[in-house]
Amino acid sequence: MSAHEEEIEITNALRRGLGLNRRQFLAATTGVTAVAMAGAGPLASTAQAASGRHPRGTLVPPSKRGIILYTVRDAISRDPLSTDLPSGFQRVFEALSRIGYRQVEFAGYGQHANSKGGANLESVEGARMLRRWLDHYGLEAEGNHGFIPGSWPLTTADLDRFKLHLEIAHTLGLGHVGTGNDPTNSAYKDDWNIAAEKWNHLGSIASRAGIKLYTHNHDAAYNFLLDSGPLDALGKPTRSSGIRKLEYFLKITDRRDVYLEMDIFWAHVARFKFSTFTAPDGSTRTDVFDPLAVVRANARRFPLFHAKDGKSNPATANGYDMVPFGTGDIDYAKFFRGAGPKGSFNPMYEQDNAPGGTANPGQSLQYADLSYDNMAALRG
């Protein structure tokens, strides 16, 4: 048993002996009281129902419960000299480990300059420091939303920086490197062909390094591809054959070298927003997007997910309001049951609006705590 595992066993034994649930224990034994006890509002009942009771047979095994660090970016970037709340990578790793997370996904390697290690850890030496902290707190890094060259053909500088990120990934033990952006923001087939050429090339480099290259989606990537005439004044197609952009990307990229991370929230936004298209003959056709069907048809190509929840709100442009995991209307139990064998994929809790600012500086870690409980409580 490792030192960290022993610490966890002692911690759990103490908690049981004191008769405390995990939330109460965190408040009693760590410096994150404001985070752990801030559940007095409308979200409290959900968290309290799940806290401390994570039965076997849950859909997401403990070792697969992850978080992308973008969710707690405010904690990572705040000045440790100005607050008692967790600040910087090391202290945030500690807080996430105590909550129960076992996986993290990076969103870059920057933190506040006053944090241990300094502001910029985007180097092999910085990665060694991060790896020591990850190992100490029993965390495994799965991926990073980092540098993907924008140029094509590649410049020497871009290729060198991409290879540096692969070296950093090896140091951290990452199985995946990727980006938080779509492969291209274009609606046109020719631009997606170019994007696929670049991603196939980069993916082959990553594969030779033993790493999977992945792209992340927003809602626009699941809109319909413009690939049919008549052409506009610039010679661009104005109609669609009905295939969606990212599905076309899947078709024309090498399944051995290019992978995807579905942001499940944005995929559901696409389902709400993009249900009709103008066919080559000028007729309007309906096709309702099914995110889970795309995953089932390409299961081996979705090793990562962003588990981001939304509460239905048809009055808004996106159709959903972003909320902590497990408090929205996206049926994650159904999605995870259908996405593949239990433990075959890595869901990363994400919430873009988790930081609470000066009004509630502990909010993002509070939401991370609540979302962990709700992910752990999902049953088959």
Least confident of 38-47, 151-160, 165-174: 38-47
Answer whether residue 15 shows pLDDT above 90.
no
Q: pLDDT tens digits for 167-212?
A: 999 999 999 999 999 999 999 999 999 999 999 999 999 999 999 9
pLDDT at residue 340, rounded to an integer? 85
pLDDT at residue 299, rounded to an integer? 85
Centroid of chain to Cα 162: 21
Which pTM was predicted? 0.85
**Mean pLDDT, residues 133-144 taken together:** 98
Answer whether residue 326 shows pLDDT above 50.
yes
Phi, psi at residue 207, to the nearest 5°?
Answer: -60, -40
Q: Residue 35 — very low, low, confident or very high, per pLDDT cuts 50/70/90? A: very low
Of 321 and 58, which is predicted with more confidence?
321
Question: Which residue in 303, 306, 291 sits closest to 349, CA to CA?
Answer: 306
Please provide the average confidence, as pLDDT, over all residues in the chain: 88
pLDDT at residue 259, rounded to an integer? 98
Strands 320-323 and 309-312, by their bridges, are: antiparallel
> Cα separation of 361 and 38, whole Å?
11
> Cα separation of 41 and 245, whole Å?
41
pLDDT at residue 343, rounded to an integer? 80
- Residue 27 CB neighbour total at 10 angstroms: 17
List CB contacts of 173: < 8 A, sequence separation 6 or more: 131, 134, 140, 141
Tokens of residue 335, six digits? 């999605």
Contact between 213 and 259 under an 8 Å Cβ cutoff? The reply is yes
Least confident of 27-31, 72-76, 83-87: 27-31
Contact between 136 and 96 under an 8 Å Cβ cutoff? The reply is no
pLDDT at residue 4, rounded to an integer? 43
Domain boundaries 57-376, CATH class: alpha beta
Q: pLDDT tens digits for 99-110?
A: 999 999 999 999
**Mean pLDDT, residues 227-251 taken together:** 97
pLDDT at residue 55, rounded to an integer? 52
Domain locations in the chain as residue ranges: 57-376
pLDDT at residue 56, rounded to an integer? 63
> Cα separation of 292 and 338, whole Å?
7
Question: Which residue in 205, 304, 294 sits closest to 246, CA to CA?
Answer: 294
pLDDT at residue 139, rounded to an integer? 98
**Mean pLDDT, residues 352-369 taken together:** 98
